[in-house]
Amino acid sequence: MVRLHDVDWIGSAVLVATPLAAVYSIFYVPLCWQTAVWSVVYYYITGFGITAGYHRLWSHRAYEATRPYQWAMAIAGAGAVQGSIKWWSRNHRSHHRWTDTDLDPYSAHKGFWHSHFLWLFVAEEHRKRGKVDISDLSRDPVVRFQHKFFVPIMLFMGFIFPTLVAGLGWGDWWGGYMWAGITRLVVVHHATFCVNSLAHWLGEDTFDDRNTPRDHYITALLTLGEGYHNFHHEFPSDFRNAVKFWQYDPTKWLIWLASTVGLTYNLNMFPDNEIEKGRLQMQAKKIDALKAKLNWGPPLETLPKLTFDQFQELVKIDGRQLLIIEGIIYNVEAFMDHHPGGRIFIKSGIGRDMTTAFNGGVYNHHNAARNLLSGFRFGVLDGTVPEIAKAKDE
């Protein structure tokens, strides 16, 4: 239960007022095509400042970059109005270190809307957040400068700069402010918030299912490629969120493109072998879960062990309809009248080892027959079968 003195009133005001202003823009502020294009372009610029800069460069050190690139990302990220690099990255590292626990600042276990943005309504000093090492950020001159002067940089890049471009460029001052400034900001905000909420709710647990992160292309479309979140939580130091060429990850493409001209380098990529091992292990786990819903017959370790003489005694004295295939004793009484080849073929094998006949001597039985047979398990043969009791190809 959040009390009034726990609320971050300034942050809450921004999170409430900007969407209301965006709704006002939709109905009352004319949108010319130049401003529309600029709003989309600036959305990508500031969005990449978060995904390629705040997230993959500073939070995870997934690659290295030249100083001009770092400054560009720091300035662009400030335009997204999501706090400084140091503040943002500290929360994100805590999220990874303490995923889905009470020390996760935006734990998915506290609800979709909490992880989406309600956690931001709580004042900093009242938030639960696990401790993480940010000593590298504290030493980084770009991070330190941006953190110290974040407010003026944020106000200029978030609101003044997009207004100036539209106003000086084509005379649309009010549209520049309301569309490229406010409305664009709301879209960037909630795109980022979707990584903390939607990416922990929608999609597949491709590599691990112990925590909530999921992979889904819809989330990727909304978040500039951050939607393959199960992969990201498994391999956070990888500069990619998507490893398949057809998966949408424009942030990865931007980082790679920058590397071709020397702006980024030492791009971390987890070995393909380890990635595929994780994928296959989860596939096997899901298959095992499906298999567990089916009847595969009694497990071999639960069956009694019988010698051949004991097996013969059950057949000849007790009249059991038993036969042996590959060291397993089966009671086929319930199936004799349903055998596709007729009752006579099974009857001829009662009391005998039918391994050779079953595996091609008479007919090489298919997978379905072998699966059906598992339901008739009766015991496990202890010892060997006399040659005279082994059916061949009759």
In a shared domain, residues 345 and 213 = no
Q: What mean pLDDT do residues 279-296 have?
A: 94
Q: Which of 250, 283, 316 is the last residue of a domain?
A: 283
* Last-in-domain residue among 252, 283, 314: 283
How high is the mean pLDDT of the chain? 94
What are the tens digits of pLDDT across the range 31-81? 999 999 999 999 999 999 999 999 999 999 999 999 999 999 999 999 999
CATH of the domain at 350: 3.10.120.10
Give the mean pLDDT of 328-349.
90
Same-domain pairing of 319 and 218: no
- Residue 2 pLDDT exceeds 80: no
195 pLDDT higher than 70: yes
What is the predicted pLDDT for the residue at 222?
95
pLDDT of residue 129: 79
Residue 171 — left, alpha, or beta (φ > 0 → left; ψ -120 to 50 → alpha)?
A: left
Confidence of residue 188 (pLDDT cuts 50, 70, 90): very high
Crossing angle of helices 67-78 and 85-97, in 10° steps, is 90
240/343 same-domain check: no
Question: Which has more confidence, 123 or 16?
Answer: 16
Mean pLDDT of 174-202: 97
Do 171 and 252 fall within a single domain? yes
- For residue 322, list its beta bridge partners: 331
Structural domain containing residue 184? 4-283
Task: Say yes or no: 179 and 328 in one domain.
Answer: no
What's the pLDDT tens digit per position in 214-236?
999 999 999 999 999 999 999 99
Q: Is residue 141 part of a domain?
A: yes
Q: Is 231 inside a domain boundary?
A: yes
**233 within some domain:** yes
* Residue 208 domain-assigned (yes or no): yes
One domain, residues 279 and 304 = no
Q: Are residues 69 and 141 part of one domain?
A: yes
pTM value is: 0.85
State whether 362 and 278 are in the same domain. Answer: no
- Cα–Cα distance measured from residue 267 to residue 256, given in angstroms and rounded to the nearest whole number: 8
Q: What is the pLDDT of residues 82-100, one digit of tens each?
A: 999 999 999 999 999 999 9
Is 118 part of any domain? yes
Rounded distance between C-alpha atoms, residue 195 and residue 276, angstroms: 24
Q: Are residues 358 and 307 in the same domain?
A: yes
- Say what the pLDDT of residue 126 is: 59
pLDDT of residue 394: 55
In angstroms, the CA 233 to CA 250 distance is 18
Q: Are 337 and 321 in contact (CB under 8 A)?
A: no
Instruction: Assign 253 a pLDDT band (cuts: 50, 70, 90).
Output: very high
Residue 158, pLDDT above cutoff 80:
yes
C-alpha 109 chain-centroid distance: 16
Mean pLDDT value of segment 194-199: 96
Is 349 among the domain residues?
yes
Rounded to 5 degrees, what are φ and ψ at 228?
A: -90, 70
- Report if residue 294 sits inside a domain: no
Q: Which residue among 220, 249, 283 closes a domain?
A: 283
Inter-residue contact 146 to 157 (CB < 8 Å)? no
Residues 240 and 126 in one domain: yes
Same domain, 304 and 350: yes
**Total structural domains within the chain:** 2
The pLDDT-based confidence of 3 (bands split at 50, 70, 90) is low
Are residue 44 and residue 80 in the same domain, yes or no? yes
Concatenate the DSSP letters of all residues of 20-34 into one string: HHHHHHHHHS---HH
Range from 1-15, 21-35, 153-167, 286-300 carrying the lowest mean pLDDT = 1-15
In a domain, 295, yes or no: no
